[in-house]
């Protein structure tokens, strides 16, 4: 079993400044190839499919990218104990092409749907979309806008999920810009924090239903 990767001061500063950092060679290449073959073999050979079978999310070869590498022990050294990783997202949707389209920016743990494009679509009093059901679904005031997540507090003030870290393991060649399915924006965590603080200070909802 690989030992924990030592995280140096420069990486910690990068995490603070950019919101992420990269650990190279954290996952043995044999584990990567095993997972990649499993995913490739699960896709149809003569058609373009953008979703893999749901069973892959909990397959030992996929979850093994986390546990059969240095990622588990590295995170425990940084964060302390955390619950078991039981499943994951296997994402194969192209980032930029005629099928996948251009990806939109979103905050993981929260809503990632299409957002209103003009001010006319926003109610000036409630700050919510006028056609809220189009964006949030029906009865979002009762369930929150996150599929699978209810409101996180009894007063229904927080509708965003929460976690300490998001781990992405790249299984495709990342040397060319635009390759792969996962992307992050430097410093966006600071913008998101400021937006949540504004919502909190307004006395309204923290999440996509809130101010702004």
Model pLDDT, residue 81: 93
pLDDT tens-place string over residues 176-191: 766 777 788 899 999 9
The three-state secondary structure class of 190 is helix
pTM confidence score? 0.74
104's CB contacts (< 8 A; 6+ apart) are 112, 114, 115
What gap in Å lies between CA 150 and CA 163, rounded to an integer?
Answer: 15
Confidence of residue 60 (pLDDT cuts 50, 70, 90): very high
What gap in Å lies between CA 43 and CA 38, rounded to an integer?
Answer: 9
pLDDT tens-place string over residues 138-171: 777 666 655 445 566 777 788 777 778 899 999 9
What gap in Å lies between CA 151 and CA 206, rounded to an integer?
Answer: 10
Find, among 165, 149, 133, 168, the residue nearest to 207 by Cα. 149
DSSP 16-71: HHHS----TT-S-HHHHHHHHHHHHHHS-SSS--S---GGGGG-HHHHHHHHTSSH
Secondary structure letter of residue 73 according to DSSP = H
30's CB contacts (< 8 A; 6+ apart) are none
């Amino acid at each position: 079993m690989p030992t924990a990767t030592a995280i140096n001061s420069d990486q910690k500063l990068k995490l603070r400044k950019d919101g992420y950092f990269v650990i190279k060679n954290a996952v043995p290449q044999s584990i990567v190839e095993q997972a990649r073959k499993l995913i490739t073999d699960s896709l149809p050979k003569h058609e373009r499919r953008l979703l893999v079978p749901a069973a892959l999310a909990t397959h030992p070869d996929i979850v093994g990218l986390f546990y059969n590498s240095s990622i588990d022990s590295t995170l425990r050294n940084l964060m302390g104990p955390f619950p078991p990783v039981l499943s994951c997202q296997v994402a194969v949707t192209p980032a930029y092409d005629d099928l996948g389209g251009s990806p939109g920016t979103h905050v993981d743990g929260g809503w990632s749907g299409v957002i209103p494009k003009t001010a006319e679509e926003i109610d000036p009093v409630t700050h919510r979309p006028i056609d809220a059901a189009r964006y949030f679904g029906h009865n979002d005031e009762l369930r929150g806008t996150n599929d699978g997540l209810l409101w996180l507090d009894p007063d229904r003030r927080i509708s965003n999920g929460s976690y300490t870290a998001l781990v992405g393991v790249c299984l495709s060649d990342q040397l060319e810009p635009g390759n792969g399915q996962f992307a992050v924006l430097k410093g966006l965590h600071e913008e998101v924090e400021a937006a949540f603080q504004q919502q909190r200070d307004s006395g309204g909802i923290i999440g996509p239903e809130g101010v702004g």
